[in-house]
Chain A
Amino acid sequence: MYSADHLNLSRRRFLRQGAFTTAALGLNLLLPPWARSGAASNLGGIRPLSGNVFDLSVDKAPCTIDGRGGQGILVNGQLPAPLLRWREGETVTLRVTNRLAVDTSIHWHGILLPFQMDGVPGVTFPGIRPGETFVYEFPLKQAGTYWYHSHSGLQEQSGHYGPLIIEPQGVDPDVVDREYVILLSDWTFEDPHRVFAKLKKMPDNYNFQRRTAGEFFRDSRERGLGNTVDDRLMWGAMRMNAADIADVTGATYTYLINGHGPQDNWTGLFNSGERVRLRFINASAMSIFNVRIPGLPLSIVQADGLPVAPVETDEFQIGVAETFDVIVQPRDRAYTLMAESNDRYGYARATLAPREGLSAEVPALRPRPTLTMKDMAMDHGEHSGMNQSGMDHSGMDHSGMDHAAMGHGMDHGNGTERQQHKHAKGPGVVGLAMNPANRLSERPLGLQDADHRVLVYTDLQAREKNPDVRPPQRELELHLTSNMERYMWSFDGLKFSEVDEPIKLYKGERVRLTLVNDTMMPHPIHLHGMFFEVVTNEGDFKPRKHTIVVKPGEKLSVDITADAIGDWAFHCHLLYHMHAGMMRVVSVLDEPAPL
């Protein structure tokens, strides 16, 4: 029906028109899998733009969330921003016009590019002034699922984010019949600056799942009065809240899939038996999701855009800014795609169905998880200090590292050493991890007891051998620090506003960055410009990522090859944490490391 000449036009019109029948789904097979995304009549996929040259305009624009009108800061008037389809090996040009009254920017998340095109005001360029058009231009050296978003102020919270997909130059190893972008995000009708202001005034403002007297009595019945009193006294002594799972919650957020709230019920259609690729992107400001599709095993094939050895699971957690490509093979029925916020106060939901108008049961929200001793890094049980499970130090070349100088206080002899904290400890720092442990093989908070498979980081293995398998020459340690009572977030006890110096890396060097989470919250830590290998083992197929969620009380390492000269942002991808100061600049200097 569609000739090749008309293909491009036809598929775009097709996507826009929406409503179609199973018969149309058949005709649809003439299209490449991504154009076969299709759309239910009310919803539709995210409108794609493809080619080499793109015109993007940033402006305030109305949007509708679950039937309620709001105003966002949107790209081309869309929430989310247009799906950009690029092709590996080509050079793209993006003309971004700022129609706001304030500066804006677009950062291409996870894209390897010249740093001056990275789009972080104050680090890689001055920002885009009101009325100005900035032209980004860079070659594409990778393929996979990524996204883009504002790096100015809190604009990201207002809808300034969108998916981008780079098609591989060769044959896509993951053959599918159909694909959808599943872009998760959190929307608030409040002014994001007001949200931040409230967190500064009353840090538990959005937490409506605090521990109550009722919970005390319930715990007393279940675990005994003595234990419950001890537990409450322990948390009280530290002035920490075991129910502090998320700072900003469903009390103000509506969780979205492809810009649609749970009532909208975004629906993706498929033909029974098809292999469907779901490109999950967590574009939230603050929300970590646990994702499952009851009845469907999920085959994870990509993490943060790069192929991983396929691993099957039933549920996975996606931190802010992470992406996962998942292949499913649904049968002739409807499925609910359930993305629970990690504090279980709300959810995003979509439907996968063979026909329009179908839906499946939406599972009830599971109970709010509670932080444990281990999250405080005070567990004295099986893990002790640096004797990290799943980590084999024997194959590692320690010769180039002076552990004493790095302040590790590592004592491989008896395993009773405590974590050192040679960083600033001012009003912004509460709680120091005494015995942080490598938790890469552990399930995320709240999923420990799920009676099905749950993805853990050690399940991920790069499909291709790591491009640089040299052992690290140098080790850096950085602590994730906070004081929830003052809503202060920092690295090494210092906010970005308090430091003058970047973290310096030298051209070509191989660095092991160890992150110690002294806080009670998981932090998705993101490095611009370079992927890092997550040290899940000492092999040559470590998963490569641009964002890693560091669990509370965790100490983990990532290896970085400093091959991208320039200045790069490095930060917690929880937007208000970054805004509060949990950020650094990493400068890769065009000079060899000093001896």
Chain B
Amino acid sequence: MKQSATLLVIGVLLCAGEGRAQTAADAFYDPEAMAAAREALKDGHGNQVNSLAIAERMEYSAADSEDAFVWEGQGWLGTDANKLWVKTEGEYVDGDGTEEAELQFLYSRAVSAFWDLQAGIRHDFKPSPSRSHLVFGAQGLAPYWFEVDSALFLSDEGKLTARLELEYDVLLTQRLILQPRLELNVAASSDREVGIGRGFFDSVAELRLRYEIRREFAPYLGVSWGGDFNDTADLVEREGGNPREFALVAGFRAWF
């Protein structure tokens, strides 16, 4: 579709005629030097490799049952169309050590103005036993400025889970930004070994207020409510825990 449109543009708008790349300068300068300069010009006008590394949340979370250090970050490297995307998140609980740690490597393809399709692998180093997953996801910007990150995960145990993250920035001022955030995780079937039951688990509604001292660095304060629902909540309760909790968070967002 896109290619036929391209051909149409070249054919119709750029006028018909024999295909001939711009080579007039070859009559005055070394054609090899010109060829190299042409390549460099092309690469330098739209084909650059760019990158982003962002720590979206580096925070201390204080809840009734436990205090924890939580991280979530992403990074990408690539051109406008094709990127290598890395995502990581995890939780280090005071006294108990690292309870969750996951890392994803994805190929990300720009498929429309606002959306990338992503596919790759995810490995959970924690909890134990570790799990590996195939990942298929979509990340982008929905109408009305909702940042969306969504994915399906198929684990090496054959278990299917899905994750949806939604974020929205409310600009109180140019630097003071209120960010509601919703994260939903849902399992199609249970994976008892890692403490997941059918239904919603690890799902939170959060609100953070950050101040962008610089665009690249913003400390924040926030609140978080949520945890496990459905079967997973039952599992947690059976072990004497609170499936859902309220937490205060403090941390920072940074990118470069």
| Contact (Cβ within 8 A) B12 A406 | yes
> Looking at B13, B45, B81, B173, which has the most chain A CB atoms within 10 Å of its CB?
B45
Considering only CB atoms, which chain B residue lies closest to A566 in the complex?
B24
Flag whether A23 is at the interface (Cβ < 8 A).
Answer: no
Within 8 A of A (CB), among B168-192: 170-175
Q: List residues of B whose CB falls within 8 A of some A CB.
A: 2, 5-6, 8-10, 12-17, 19-25, 27-30, 33-34, 36-48, 50-52, 80-81, 110-114, 141, 143-145, 170-175, 215, 255
Knowing A116-B25, A500-B21, A567-B25, the reply to whether A214 touches B145 (Cβ < 8 A) is no
Considering only CB atoms, which chain A residue lies closest to B16 in the complex?
A594
> Looking at B13, B34, B46, B111, which has the most chain A CB atoms within 10 Å of its CB?
B46
| Contact (Cβ within 8 A) B143 A239 | yes
Top-10 shortest CB links A-B: A581-B46, A122-B41, A495-B46, A497-B46, A497-B47, A427-B110, A496-B45, A126-B33, A236-B144, A122-B37
Flag whether A242 is at the interface (Cβ < 8 A).
Answer: no
Chain B residues with CB under 8 Å of A486's CB are 80, 110, 113
Q: List residues of A whose CB falls within 8 A of some B CB.
A: 115-116, 121-127, 153, 196-198, 200-202, 205, 208-214, 233, 236-239, 405-407, 422-430, 474, 476-478, 483, 485-486, 488, 490, 492-504, 565-567, 578-581, 583, 585, 587, 589, 594
| Contact (Cβ within 8 A) A423 B9 | yes
| Contact (Cβ within 8 A) B110 A123 | no
Considering only CB atoms, which chain B residue lies closest to A503 in the complex?
B14
| Contact (Cβ within 8 A) B80 A125 | no
Known contacts A202-B215, A428-B80, A494-B9; 13 further A-B pairs (Cβ under 8 A): A116-B24, A121-B37, A202-B255, A210-B171, A212-B174, A239-B141, A422-B12, A477-B13, A497-B47, A502-B22, A567-B22, A567-B24, A579-B48
Chain A's nearest CB lies how many Å from the CB of B1?
9
Task: Select one of B6, B37, B51, B113 contacting A429, CB under 8 A.
Answer: B113
Considering only CB atoms, which chain A residue lies closest to B111 in the complex?
A427
Knowing A201-B50, A213-B172, the reply to whether A474 touches B15 (Cβ < 8 A) is yes
| Contact (Cβ within 8 A) B41 A121 | yes
Chain A residues with CB under 8 Å of B34's CB are 122, 125-126
Chain B's nearest CB lies how many Å from the CB of A116?
4
Considering only CB atoms, which chain B residue lies closest to A120 in the complex?
B41
Knowing A116-B29, A126-B36, the reply to whether A423 touches B19 (Cβ < 8 A) is no
Knowing A201-B52, A422-B9, A423-B9, the reply to whether A495 touches B47 (Cβ < 8 A) is yes
| Contact (Cβ within 8 A) B46 A498 | yes
> Looking at A406, A476, A495, which has the most chain B CB atoms within 10 Å of its CB?
A495
Chain B residues with CB under 8 Å of A238's CB are 143
Knowing A210-B174, A233-B144, A239-B143, the reply to whether A127 touches B14 (Cβ < 8 A) is no
A169, B7: Cα distance in complex, Å: 48
Chain A residues with CB under 8 Å of B43's CB are 497
Chain B residues with CB under 8 Å of A483's CB are 113
Chain B residues with CB under 8 Å of A594's CB are 16-17
Task: Select one of A115, A200, A428, A476 contacting B24, CB under 8 A.
Answer: A115
| Contact (Cβ within 8 A) B145 A239 | yes
| Contact (Cβ within 8 A) B170 A237 | no
Task: Select one of A239, A422, A578 contacting B13, CB under 8 A.
Answer: A422
Considering only CB atoms, which chain A residue lies closest to B39 in the complex?
A122
Considering only CB atoms, which chain B residue lies closest to A202 in the complex?
B215
A153, B45: Cα distance in complex, Å: 9
Knowing A116-B25, A121-B37, the reply to whether A425 touches B5 (Cβ < 8 A) is yes
| Contact (Cβ within 8 A) B112 A427 | yes
Chain A residues with CB under 8 Å of B22's CB are 123, 502, 567, 585, 587
Chain B residues with CB under 8 Å of A208's CB are 174-175
Chain B residues with CB under 8 Å of A407's CB are 12-13
Chain A residues with CB under 8 Å of B25's CB are 115-116, 123-126, 566-567
Chain A's nearest CB lies how many Å from the CB of B31?
10
Chain A residues with CB under 8 Å of B170's CB are 213
Chain A residues with CB under 8 Å of B17's CB are 504, 594
> Looking at B16, B170, B171, which has the most chain A CB atoms within 10 Å of its CB?
B171
Considering only CB atoms, which chain A residue lies closest to B76 in the complex?
A201
A353, B126: Cα distance in complex, Å: 73
A499, B42: Cα distance in complex, Å: 9
Chain B residues with CB under 8 Å of A426's CB are 2, 110, 112
A579, B50: Cα distance in complex, Å: 13
Chain A's nearest CB lies how many Å from the CB of B47?
4
A116, B15: Cα distance in complex, Å: 24
Considering only CB atoms, which chain B residue lies closest to A427 in the complex?
B110
